[in-house]
Amino acid sequence: MSVAAHSVERARPEITGEIDKAGYVLVAFFAIPFFLFNILPVLFGFYVAFTRWSIVGAPKWEGLNNFTRAFNDHWVAVAFKNILFYGVIIVPSVTVLGLVFALFVNKRYPLSGLARTLFFAPTVVSATVIGLVWVWLLDTQFGLVNHYLSFFGIDDVPWLTSTRWSLVGVSIASIWWDLGLAFVLFLAALQDIPGEINDAAIVDGANRWQRFRYVILPHLRPVISMVVTLQLISTLRIFSQVYVMTNGGPAGSSSSPIHYIYSIAIVRNLFGYASAIAILLFALILAVTFAQRFLLKERA
Amino acid sequence: MSAKPTRIGTLALNRRGLLKATGAAAASLAAPGFATRRARAANPIEINHWSWLAASDGEVWAKMIADFNEAHKDKGVQIKMEVVPEEQYVTKVLAAAATGKAPDFGWGTAGKGAQLARDAVTVPLDDLAAKAGLDLADFSAYSISASRYPKYDNKIFMIPMDLMSLQPEINLDHVKEAGLDPAKPPVDGATLLEWATAMTKREGDKVTRSGIMMTGSGVQPTVTWGIVAEQLGFQRASDDLKTACVNPEASKKAMQWVLDLFDKHKVSTRDVTDRYKAFGTGQGSIFWTGPWTLNGYVGQKLNFKTALFPKIGDKHVTYFEMGGLELYQQADTARYEATMQAVKWLSDNSFLWTTVGRGASPRKSILDRPDYKTTGNSWDVRGAFVDGMSFATVGEIPVVNGPNFTIYSGGNFLAKTLEGVWSGQTSIDDAMTQIQTQWQADLDEG
């Protein structure tokens, strides 16, 4: 061992047992409820996934039956396929629009404060309210969206009533709702970029696009990674909008895994089967998150 | 009293400490009243009641409970009511029962409580009703039979409170505009289409006002198929609940009948999202729905009347739904008697409920009262829902997987499968095969 390392070790403060105990007590205020109400139910959920259980009575061990059933369940496949489409529509839209809006109000100009508030406002409204409002806006016959589209000669679009459009309709509401958070994160990151770097790029003759592409965007990469991760997880768990706007229909075309889990657990009381599907969703979220983090890190 | 040996009492949740702690914690949290443990003093008795009635009918029910409490204020019995969201109701009852804290009684729908009966969460009521002096002979035979679960000892598991059916509400402004005679509403498939065609409005090929109010998905096309299929001779389950889909050809014909409303006769549009609102705002002319809509439409002064559901096939039937009160398993079985007395009082005094609240009365003595037809909404809008009960027989299939058979549903297996047909994604034959396979498995499970 080197002398330097030795001296560092000697410089460590002595930790007494009493301090340790006090720490445990302080941590316990959080740790015990967290263990009881977060960790334990998750562990219990894993156990229940291998059983047949409807709250009353003992869970009956079923081995992998619930998982086999899930893999053979047409509606599980539909829900997981839908979630990929939701991801493809919502994640890039929220990321790009969030960035565009943030760039738009990054500089101070008259009413930019109001614009910031307006862009963020949907985020503070509950998903249920968002869903109800968008049901009205997207109504096929008397919705505002179709009304305005008709000015351009576009025929009524059945946003929520056709198997072709329902997923898009729910996605539009979700994008509007989720945009605020991405917008704030990007705005905060933009404000953190030192003005000198931009000034130097201007002096070097970089045009607006070049400044964005080679100066601003590299600085935003960690935030982009975070926004994409958060948005991906949020989209994989999409529920409220689906429940309020289409109830997963028509023909399951807008359903999501969480919506299906809800209907299996709360409506049908098949908690074992619902837990098995939840575990599959958990595995998917984990895999997608790792893959996405890896890819963005590699590119960075 | 012949209550089944309690399976709740032998909950195997204590097989492991882990299960016990988690199950109990989750179930306790799910049960309303967790924070304030109710006192179960023997005297005065506080009977705990859960209800999911929350619309205008909920107000009438609250009045019924208030009337009971007023009538019993010096008798040592009071009902304490809590309103629980309908879709969480069964789960909360299960959770509360698992921890021994179930309410004494609550609202149920006939045929939908097979799981509760199987798990002994609901209490068989034959003996309790007799002991309380409730005159079961005063109830219609069909209401009592709908309260039983053949697969679970065939006992009565609820006291019927109201009977509901689906009957057509007809916009009288549209009738007048089309030059039709409001005194002669449609009685069969042909006249129904005749009326619907006369009242439909179109722009080119597009229906802008439906002669027959429909939606492209959800409850309305599913329940319409269910009624028409049974009229054409289809049965979702055989009488002995052993065989699924008796006469599937009739079911396929009914699917085609619904599709033709959209595509052949063009009297309905798939573009309606909110059927209640659409009918209320005049976007549809004939809308088969239940008596729960009356107070709302009367309140908004919609000019309409209600007729009997037309006879489209050989059997004249329509959708049936029955609400009733069920008793839940208690550790202290002495509470059943007082609870049953309260339920008896509510049933005996359900005149208000079945005139102003909702549905028709299942009790002959109430139906025979001279003021039954003159109380509440006018007979023009209410009468069909009372008279129509004589042929309302398309109810729930009383098995544990009954929710898969429910025709009045917007998101169950049946609705989702049929939505494939309505949207043209699934062929009628394929849908029928899927339904038959799933339902047979459901019946086999019991």
Q: Residues B255-308: pLDDT tens digits?
A: 999 999 999 999 999 988 889 999 999 999 999 999 988 888 999 999 999 999
Q: List, in sequence order, every residue forming a beta bridge with A51; answer none if it has no partner.
A: A61
Question: In this structure, what are the phi and psi dihedrals at residue B60, rounded to the nearest 5 degrees?
Answer: -65, -40
A141 and A41 in a single domain? The answer is: no
Q: Do B425 and A135 touch (CB under 8 A)?
A: no
Q: What does the pLDDT read at residue A12? A: 61
Specify whether the CB–CB gap between A118 and A179 falls below 8 A. Answer: no
| pLDDT score of B67 more than 60 | yes
| pLDDT score of B96 more than 90 | yes
**Distance of residue B155 Cα from the nearest chain A Cα, in angstroms:** 21
For range B214-232, the mean pLDDT: 95
CB nearest to B88's CB, from A36, A263, A266: A266
Query: What percentage of residues in chain B have a pLDDT greater than 70?
Result: 90
Q: Tell me the pTM.
A: 0.80
A250 and chain B: CB distance < 8 Å anywhere?
yes
pLDDT in tens, chain A (300 residues): 444 445 445 556 565 555 677 888 889 999 999 999 999 999 999 999 999 998 888 899 999 999 999 999 999 999 999 999 999 999 999 999 999 999 988 877 778 888 888 888 888 888 889 999 999 999 988 899 999 999 998 988 999 988 899 999 999 999 999 999 999 999 999 998 888 888 898 898 889 889 989 989 999 988 998 899 899 888 998 999 999 999 898 989 999 999 999 999 988 889 999 999 999 999 998 898 888 778 766 554
A50 and A188 in a single domain? The answer is: no
Q: Is A269 left (phi over 0), alpha (psi -120 to 50) or beta?
A: left
A57 and A132 in a single domain? The answer is: no
Q: What does the pLDDT read at residue A181? A: 92
Q: Do B22 and A41 touch (CB under 8 A)?
A: yes
Q: CB-based contacts of A189: which residues, under 8 Å, 6+ apart?
A: A102, A219, A220, A222, A223
Q: In chain B, which residues have their Cβ closer than 8 Å to the Cβ of A248?
A: 411, 416
Domain span at residue A47 reads 21-64
A57 and A107 in a single domain? The answer is: no
A54 and A185 in a single domain? The answer is: no
A2 domain residue, yes or no: no
Structure tokens at B170: 């007809």
A35 and A108 in a single domain? The answer is: no
A201 and A58 in a single domain? The answer is: no
A197 and A157 in a single domain? The answer is: yes
* Domain termination residue (choose one: A41, A64, A87): A64
A6 domain residue, yes or no: no
For range B31-58, the mean pLDDT: 68
Any idea what the CATH number is for the domain that residue A258 is in? 1.10.3720.10
A134 and A213 in a single domain? The answer is: yes
Please give the mean pLDDT across all residues of chain B: 88
| Pick among A32, A46, A55, A170 to test the B interface (most B CBs inside 10 A) | A55
Specify whether the CB–CB gap between B423 and B216 falls below 8 A. Answer: yes
| Chain B: residue whose CA lies nearest to A143 | B273
Give B19's pLDDT tier (boundaries 50, 70, 90).
Answer: very low
CB nearest to B271's CB, from A55, A161, A268: A161
A50 and A131 in a single domain? The answer is: no
Q: Which residues of A140-172 are buried (b: 16+ CB within 10 A; e: fewer)?
A: bbebebbeeeeeeeeebbbbbbbbebbbbbbbb
| Chain B: residue whose CA lies nearest to A252 | B416
Q: What does the pLDDT read at residue B225? A: 98
Structure tokens at B88: 């969480």
A173 and A117 in a single domain? The answer is: yes
| pLDDT score of B27 more than 80 | no
Give B115's pLDDT tier (boundaries 50, 70, 90).
Answer: confident
CB nearest to A251's CB, from B121, B271, B425: B425
A269 and chain B: CB distance < 8 Å anywhere?
yes
pLDDT in tens, B362-420: 999 999 999 999 998 999 999 999 999 999 999 999 998 888 999 998 888 999 999 99
CA atoms within 13 A on the CB side of A186: 28
**Distance of residue A64 Cα from the nearest chain B Cα, in angstroms:** 19
A38 domain residue, yes or no: yes
More confident residue, B34 or A117: A117
Amino acid at A154: I
Q: Do B426 and A161 touch (CB under 8 A)?
A: no
Report how far apart, in Å, the C-alpha atoms of A274 and of each of A51, A217, A261, B28, B119 are. 11, 42, 5, 20, 20
A42 and A78 in a single domain? The answer is: no
Structure tokens at B150: 């053949």
Q: What does the pLDDT read at residue B103? A: 96
Q: What does the pLDDT read at residue A16? A: 58
Specify whether the CB–CB gap between A178 and A117 falls below 8 A. Answer: no
A14 domain residue, yes or no: no
A194 domain residue, yes or no: yes
Number of domains in chain A: 2
